[in-house]
Structure 1
Amino acid sequence: MLPSKPLPTWTPEIVQQAMGSLNHALQRAIIMALFTGQRRSDLCRMKWSDISGNFIHVIQGKTGTALKIPIHPKLAIYLDQWRHSGEFILTNTNGDPWKPNSITSSLSEASLSGRIPPGFNIHGLRKMSATLLAEAGCTTHEIAAITGHKTLAMVQHYTLAVSQEKLAKDAIARIDTSFLNQKETKP
């Protein structure tokens, strides 16, 4: 079931604002959500032992879907910088594993204090992740392979914030025109 009011998709500007104003524990949650496209409950369950080679292995709690998500080079840099003390990748400021509701509450507090705009939560980062994949030219099947969505309709719902202009520019640039004769046409 979808919420009656759609949750807003984060933007690059809001991510930059959050990365400049939130504590390191929340910054980690934002980065992991952005690069994996997972739900908050699955983010909180991710362990260092789930990383093997260049992949994070996830079994989604809601659907039971098993995913093998490639680690983006930028995410690899963050993972290398973070302390690997403890079992879980995401820990709060006390070093304890995040609980899904605690991430939500912490982001709500950040919103109330003006550190991020009102209404933006961790789920909006899942939508941003799907949107970034779509803007990069990924198919709905490729996006679902990352997010674990069972239906392509849900992928389309998550990617409503896609920039039409960017997609159109990328599409035009991919047209093969090698079949055209390069001679000038006469008026």
Structure 2
Amino acid sequence: MQTPVLLALYTGQRREDLVTMTWADYHGGIVRVAQNKTQERLDLPCHPKLREHLDNKRTGFGGTIVRAANGRPMTAGALSAALNRAMADIAEMPHRSWHGLRYLAAGKLEEAGCSVVEITSVIGHRTYQMAMQYISQRRAARAAIERLEAAG
């Protein structure tokens, strides 16, 4: 599960896009994504942690990057089922989804000081409003906790 989780965290892509990424889409410093839902084509700079992982994982066989334990490509549904099984094995872990990892990626970009335009360039949304849905909850929660701390 490490490879798809790192891809989700550092590219912010949907599960359908994670399972269709191929080794031909990975160019060391760049991951090329053709988003299934929006048909957006993105060239995403590869975070150093993701790049190190992919460089160590790369084989000469090509094909899709995300694979099941048996080496076969995964469907989006199989990827969700694998995440559910992995989460169930962790005591007291609340349910998480691939879409939740997409929100987390957008939130981490916002926390790092990225603008909405920069965030949308990674997650592939075309509108400001949709990007704001991904980051507004974290902003509001952070402001609420800051006010609570200031109140003593």
Aligned equivalent of 1:112: 88
Partner of 2:150: none
**Runs of 4 or more consecutive aligned structure 1 residues displaced over 4 Å after TM superposition:** none
CA distance in 2, matches of 1:53, 1:27: 18
Residues 6-155 of structure 1: pairs in structure 2 closer than 5 A? 26-84=1-59, 85-114=61-90, 117-155=93-131
**Residues 33 and 125, structure 1, Cα contact 8 Å, conserved in 2:** yes
SS in 2 for 1:68: strand
SS of alignment partner, residue 31 of structure 2:
strand
Change (3 A) 1:75 1:116: farther
Query: Matched residues in 1 for 2:93 and 2:62: separation?
Result: 32
TM-score (norm 2): 0.85
* 5+ residue gaps, structure 2: 147-152
Identify the residue that residue 161 of structure 1 maps to in structure 2.
138
Give the number of the structure whose residues are more often helix, by fraction.
2
Q: Give 1:148 shift.
A: 0.1
Identical columns (%): 37
| Residue ranges of structure 1 left out of the alignment (5+ in a row) | 1-25, 169-187
RMSD: 1.8
Deviations 1:106-140 (A, max 9, x none): 12223334357232011111111100100010000
Distance 1:102 1:78, change over 3 A: same
TM-score (norm. length: structure 1): 0.70
Given that residues 10 and 47 in structure 2 are in contact (C-alpha distance below 8 angstroms), is that contact kept between their aligned partners in structure 1?
yes
How many angstroms apart in 2 are the aligned matches of 1:137 and 1:102? 34
Between Structure 1 and Structure 2, whose CA radius of gyration is higher? 1
Query: Structure 2 vs 1, CA of residues 40 and 126 (structure 1 numbering), >3 Å: closer, same or farther?
Result: same
AA matched with 2:78: S
